[in-house]
Amino acid sequence: MTGKISNTSLEQRARNIRRHALRMAEVQGQGYIAQALGIADVLAVSYFDGLNYRAHDPEWEGRDRFLLSIGHYAIALYAALIEAGIIPEDEIETYGSDDSRLPMSGMASYTPGMEITGGSLGQGLSIAVGMCLGLKRKQSGSFVYNLLSDGELDEGSTWEAAMSAASFGLDNLIAIVDVNNMQADGPSKGILNFEPLHEKFAAFGWHVQRVDGNVIADLVTAFRAARACGQRKPRVIICDTKMGKGVDFLEARERNHFLRVEPEEWSRALEAINAGRAS
Ligand SMILES: Cc1ncc(C[n+]2csc(CCOP(=O)(O)OP(=O)(O)O)c2C)c(N)n1
Ligand SMILES: [Mg+2]
């Protein structure tokens, strides 16, 4: 809910999101935890300063939609939905198990608050464009947020959607790109160089901001400016994030797209978050 809470409270929310994600990953002993730690600040600002929603009525028509293109980041979104009160905290123990509402890849039909099934990369922005057009036809004031990864920028469909969004003047669309400079096969820029990203989105007709995605105060300013910019343009917030943020030995891992962590390391990771070194 657009609650305008203090940055200190948002930092606490981000720490809680990291804790929930770590506890889920511990259930499986592995997971996409480095991304979750990296994106926790963005999710805290999204769910506690940016989005309008009703925790007890996740399908409320007047809500802002948050689309997760990147199904493998589901662990991060579940952690935010738990912190937001949309998913009960005790479901953490079911993470990734048969019959759980929290499968390892995000599935819209399973989980409250999960708007789309996004595991096939590069589809989210196109879905967001369609939703934005539909909301405009209904004269809704809701915004559609779409969290993409830097790996998704390699998908041509992302750029078709970016061009469409500007062409249709979708000022109800806010894309968030997590630039963690990592993909499944290694550092993103070594695979396909997507820079200069600010200039690319600007050339496509978007309102563009680029921020440190692990600095709450900067995120708050950018998220508020994206809603309020007043131009008839889609908006993008490019967020540079640090994988493993807040847990020094996970930040230091080189190939951290998918992590296995030893049992004793989970408690060390939680201690690092509890000690407040995150954010
Ligand atoms: C269309 C498509 N191609 C390939 C994949 C396999 N895949 C899953 S995650 C991933 C890496 C994508 O990059 P990014 O999300 O930036 O990785 P991360 O930051 O999580 O390391 C790939 C290629 C997929 N899910 N969908
Ligand atoms: Mg990445």
Q: Phi and psi at residue 190, in whole multiples of 5°?
A: -75, -15
Pair 192, 154: CB distance under 8 Å:
yes
pLDDT exceeds cutoff 90 at 192: yes
Q: Which two tokens stand for residue 262?
A: 């030893």
Q: What is the pLDDT of residues 7-53, one digit of tens each?
A: 999 999 999 999 999 999 999 999 999 999 999 999 999 999 999 99
For residue 3, the model assigns a pLDDT of 54
Does ligand 1 have an atom closer than 6 angstroms to the CB of 242? Answer: no
pLDDT range class, residue 182, cuts 50, 70, 90: very high
pLDDT exceeds cutoff 80 at 1: no
CA distance 38 to 34: 6
Q: Is 248 helix (H, G, I), strand (E, B) or coil?
A: helix
CA distance 209 to 259: 31
Residue 71 Cα: closest atom of ligand 1: 25
Name the nearest CA neighbour of 45 among 165, 147, 130, 197.
147
Q: Which of 121, 148, 149 gets mutated to test ligand 1 (max ligand atoms within 8 A of its CB)?
A: 121
Q: Which of 69, 148, 149 gets mutated to test ligand 1 (max ligand atoms within 8 A of its CB)?
A: 149
Does ligand 1 have an atom closer than 6 angstroms to the CB of 257? Answer: yes
CA distance 91 to 23: 11
Q: Is 170 helix (H, G, I), strand (E, B) or coil?
A: coil
pLDDT range class, residue 119, cuts 50, 70, 90: confident
Instruction: Report the nearest-CA residue for atom 13 of ligand 1.
Output: 151
Residues 6+ apart with CB under 8 A from 198: 208, 210, 238
Does ligand 1 have an atom closer than 6 angstroms to the CB of 70? Answer: yes
Least distant ligand from the CA of 32 = 1
Give the up-direction half-sphere exposure of residue 158: CA atoms within 13 A in the CB hemisphere.
22
pLDDT exceeds cutoff 50 at 278: no
CA distance 144 to 170: 10
Q: Pick one of 3.50.50.60, 3.20.20.70, 1.25.40.10, 3.40.50.970 as the CATH number of 7-274.
A: 3.40.50.970
19: left (phi over 0), alpha (psi -120 to 50) or beta: alpha
DSSP strand pairing (259-260 vs 144-149): unpaired
Question: Ligand 2 mean position to 181 CA, how many Å?
Answer: 5
Task: Give the residue carrying structure tokens 């993909």.
Answer: 183
Residues 6+ apart with CB under 8 A from 165: 125, 128, 129, 132, 173, 175, 206, 234
Does ligand 1 have an atom closer than 6 angstroms to the CB of 167? Answer: no
The angle subtended at Cα 186 by Cα 180 and Cα 189, nearest 5°, is 60
Q: For the chain, how many residues are written? A: 279
pLDDT exceeds cutoff 50 at 279: no
Amino acid at 120: S
Mean pLDDT computed over 228-249: 97
The domain ranges of the chain are: 7-274
